[in-house]
Chains A and B, each alone.
Chain A
């Protein structure tokens, strides 16, 4: 297990370094005058030069690259162009707020979609199965902001059972924040429900056709007993992988949801950064999402290795 962990961790670090390099390349693909871009075409030359000098954007590209790598390692992410404060002090609180929203979404999504997946797998190719699969395909293909806007129109404006502004007033208790976050979270539940259900369904169907499932049934175990003690442990591995990947990808969709519901999370922070061309904040936020993705896939792989001894022991050879 130790060696498996080491190898997996090392490969995650290499991927993260490549990711940071790609992001750096994307940002610097046009050798532009950053100061001119931020301060606008009418700012005096001296101010632009001073701005560039203060932020180090007049240094050679290699130097800037090394600085950005150092900023990544220290999780400091550089200085915001717009406010002059540390990027980390802007994006970490925002990540925390987005994290609350995402966590609520996953607390609802995971049990619902795993149960729906098992439900569909047991009725393979029947009408109930087809309906669940088609519904999942349809809802997961709609962009999150569209779902969010529709939910908001129906529940928060027409029926008035939710809040149009999802940012709770300062000092609201964690439980008191729930009604604010519920409908934005539901927009994400609807988007991610489909993938996880489909994966669970495929995994359970495969496990149902396996020899060990037949053996377990033949030695007289009941259906739910077979499911609990034999099937799920194997069938859920692909589901766990999909969930971990979705945790990273969720930050693509959360931007739209946060914009619709005016929620001050990482997505809104990025949109504000886009508006003011605050590249370091944008870059830091993107890298932070990359880190979240790495950590969640790493944890998922460890969980799978824990559940399935074949994965864990393979590396001992």
Chain B
């Protein structure tokens, strides 16, 4: 593969001494692109805000965030109380009915927003932090590091995230933190691949070469010079990852690898209730399932809006 970028610290030192004079004058109008960048960012944000899909998505997510933050205060009944009669169909007092142990489904759906809205965004954020670091090193240094890491990433991508997540959580035991860590770890290679591709396109541009000639260290160049210029794909990746994280956490928790039972997590609720569908008790499954579907679609509407503005559809 290409190894043309091999300017070792020693050699760049030698070159940088005379180069300082040459590059000094250009450091003054260097401020221009920064404000230009800010302007472009403002313009992008304006374009994103104006998309109807983005507004609808944000509205739905906001409703769920409020449920997650103030769930126990908002819910008309307790999410854990068994006192009500079991299997009541939806009615005024219990708009979503009650489940097989007599708990109010409406209250459980409201309170259930908390787990998934805590785990999914955090897992996505963690995967971005690790993935950006890994992808940055792969793209910037290239060579054997890129080759080995690239191979591993490819092997990781050969498996559905849910499967290897199920395997990992079975061996590690399920707790909220394990689920969070496993999802973050599984998304890291995917993020790394995106970032690597973006960095490859930047690596040989003039501003990187001149930073190198100025004698800047690799870490500085990667995270202060290149990172701001690949922020677009990273923002897109973050929003897309949050969507997939909600999907993955919900599926894992349906499969029994989520937060443990008394938790009113949506996936766990569907898992407890789906056997009742055949008996006609559709509401105990339907409403938590609807909540999952609404949240995933909302996050994806946001992600799609951000993506089509930043990457140009």
Contacts and interface: CB of A to CB of B under 8 A. Distances in A.
A23 B254 contact: no
B256 interface: yes
A252 B163 contact: yes
Given A15-B151, A142-B293, A248 B160 contact: yes
B151 A252 contact: no
B300 A141 contact: yes
Contacts of A14: 151
Contacts of A134: 53
Interface residues of A, number: 53
Interface residues of B, number: 45
Given A15-B158, A271-B256, A145 B164 contact: no
Contact of A157 (B151, B243, B282, B301): B282
Nearest to B171: A27
Most buried by A among B152, B158, B160: B158
A18 B154 CA distance: 9
Q: Is the interface of A mostly helix, strand, loop or mixed?
A: helix
Contacts of A145: 251, 254, 270
Contact of B277 (A144, A157, A274): A157
Interface string B79-91: 0000000000000
A143 interface: yes
Interface string B292-309: 110011011100100000
Contacts of B271: 259
A221 B170 CA distance: 59
Given A157-B282, A260-B274, A286 B255 contact: no
Contacts of B166: 255, 270, 274, 282
A289 B163 contact: yes
B285 A153 contact: yes
B168 interface: yes
Contacts of A18: 151-152, 154-155
Contact of A149 (B163, B286, B296): B286
Interface in B248-306: 250-251, 254-257, 270-271, 274, 277-278, 280, 282, 285-286, 289, 292-293, 296-297, 299-301, 304
A137 B300 contact: yes
A155 B282 CA distance: 12
Interface in A156-177: 156-158, 164
Interface string A265-289: 0000011001101010011011001
Most buried by B among A134, A146, A290: A146
Contacts of A4: none
Contacts of A285: 163
Nearest to B156: A22
B159 interface: yes
Nearest to A125: B313
A157 B280 contact: yes
B247 interface: yes
Contacts of B251: 143-145, 252-253, 255-256
Sorted from nearest, which 6 A-B pairs have the closest CB atoms?
A252-B160, A18-B155, A252-B162, A141-B300, A153-B282, A19-B155
Interface of B: 53, 151-152, 154-156, 158-164, 166-168, 170-172, 243, 247, 250-251, 254-257, 270-271, 274, 277-278, 280, 282, 285-286, 289, 292-293, 296-297, 299-301, 304
28 contacts: A18-B155, A19-B158, A22-B152, A22-B155, A23-B167, A137-B300, A141-B296, A142-B297, A143-B247, A143-B250, A143-B296, A149-B277, A149-B289, A153-B285, A156-B278, A157-B277, A164-B278, A252-B163, A252-B251, A255-B166, A256-B255, A270-B163, A274-B166, A279-B170, A279-B171, A289-B163, A290-B159, A293-B158
